[in-house]
Structure 1
């Protein structure tokens, strides 16, 4: 059996996962900031 990752390459797979997860993680970060769970301290 051949490895399906070999045809695409690990960098392409990682790039696809990053592109897939970036928008929802940004939205989650924004919601957590609005809720006061995440606080950015500016010194």
Structure 2
């Protein structure tokens, strides 16, 4: 899964008020990138 796409999905859930799902996606980003920094 591409990090930018994962970040986008997280934002989509967050904007819809689905915070638990957004957090789940953000956690996937951090796990998948380890030390890389994501910029919006």
- TM-score strictly above 0.5: no
TM-score by length of 1: 0.41
TM-score by length of 2: 0.43
Which structure has more RCO (C-alpha within 8 Å, separation ≥ 6)? 2
